[in-house]
Amino acid sequence: MQRVLGRVIGALAVAAVLAAAALLTLGGSGAATAAAPPGPRLAVVAVAKRLAELRTVDLHGRQPLRLAGGGPRTKPYVDTFSPPSWSFDGAQVAFSGITGSRDGDDHEPIRSIFVVRADGSGMRPIRGTNGATFPVFSPDGQTVAFTRALDREEPTKVGGKLRQEFHGSSIWLVDLKSGKQRQLTPWRDGVKYLASSFSPDGSTLLATHDDDRLLNEPEPVALQVDGSGSRRLFAEGSSPIYSPDGSEIVFNRGFTGESETDGDLFVISADGGQVRRLTNTPGRAELSVSWDPSGQRLVYSWVQAFGSADEGLAFGVGLMQVNADGSCPQKMTLKPRASAIAVAWQPGPGRGAGRIEC
């Protein structure tokens, strides 16, 4: 089911990615800088008029402040389905940006990780992150974890060895000051790792492990940052995210059913307790999720497909907030109107919103 959902999401992303590729020759530079409105703030990857934009908004989806993208002359273009990541002090946002496209029929985007301040100033690329996506700030702000993917049908060199073709991804760590990189998971054909969340003490990195040869569905795993090992959290799920105090983990899980986009959010205690269902949305799938700094509510993006692949799919995309116990779900609408693809809540003291009152 997660792989079916991936195809649906991929179809939704095509327009934004192709638009970025077509505009790469136009040049230009970053977003305008303005004073950052007071929090709490959400960083959102939004798509409007076929262009992706990284913006921050308030809890009602209003007071937008553009940080990156959003126009034909605002490179780097924002990587549509790569969630942004806040530094733990809420001062900076890391995101995956598209800086060009490779030669060839597929015009594969060239990606790097960028960092920008919360007011939209000081945007810079992180050295050593070519081909990177899905950035995750470490708690001390000195390291960013990211995912590097290779998807090649032609001979390519991977890990010093020439492969006739290769399809996989691995997780890397980069030091923000020196640009020094360290590979955390190995390259293996058909195996994908996707970074998603650091533990509050920085010792563990949550990730999704997907092996086309062995697994029916992806599985969440916990990786020791020092490279000493990993463990499977449970049998099925993806995109695990620690709660602010590290006591719980929220994750996505897909189910087979009449709809090809079923998928819901679940919560489990970090020590492996009972799984608790958070959402129940048949025909709709949650894409990205983020905790309120108080740990009492979550915000997430969702996608719903209408029609069939034969008839041509139409999509609904948006944002929701829900209490950590699954109560009081509330829909959010971005102003100006846009499709919200990925979201991250600004961390730090005073930026929590507490429970939603029904």
Give domain status of residue 320, yes or no: yes
Phi first, then psi: give them for residue 15, nearest 5 degrees: -60, -45
Q: Give per-residue pLDDT as tens, 173-212.
A: 999 999 999 999 998 888 999 999 999 999 999 999 999 8
Question: Can you tell me the distance from the alpha carbon of 216 to that of 2, in angstroms, rounded to the nearest whole number?
Answer: 9
Give domain status of residue 149, yes or no: yes
| Residue 83, preceding peptide bond in cis (omega within 30° of 0) | no
Burial of residue 350 (CB within 10 Å: 0-12, 13-18, 19+) is exposed
Give domain status of residue 153, yes or no: yes
Number of domains in the chain: 1
Give domain status of residue 354, yes or no: no
Q: Give per-residue pLDDT as tens, 103-140.
A: 655 567 889 999 999 999 999 999 989 889 999 999 99
Give domain status of residue 350, yes or no: no
Model pTM?
0.86
* Structural domain that includes position 69: 2-345
Outline where DSSP puts E strands in 12-74: 42-48, 51-57, 65-69
Tally of CB atoms within 10 A around 77: 28
Give domain status of residue 142, yes or no: yes
Give domain status of residue 204, yes or no: yes
Q: Are 289 and 243 in contact (CB under 8 A)?
A: no
pLDDT by position in tens, the chain (length 358): 344 344 334 433 433 443 444 444 333 444 445 566 777 899 999 998 888 999 999 999 999 999 999 876 778 999 988 999 999 999 999 999 998 877 655 567 889 999 999 999 999 999 989 889 999 999 999 999 999 988 776 777 777 777 767 788 999 999 999 999 999 999 888 899 999 999 999 999 999 999 987 777 899 999 999 999 999 988 889 999 999 999 999 999 874 344 444 589 999 999 888 889 999 888 888 889 999 999 999 999 998 865 554 544 446 788 999 999 999 999 999 998 899 999 999 999 899 999 999 8
Give domain status of residue 101, yes or no: yes
The CATH number of residue 52's host domain is 2.120.10.30
Burial of residue 96 (CB within 10 Å: 0-12, 13-18, 19+) is buried
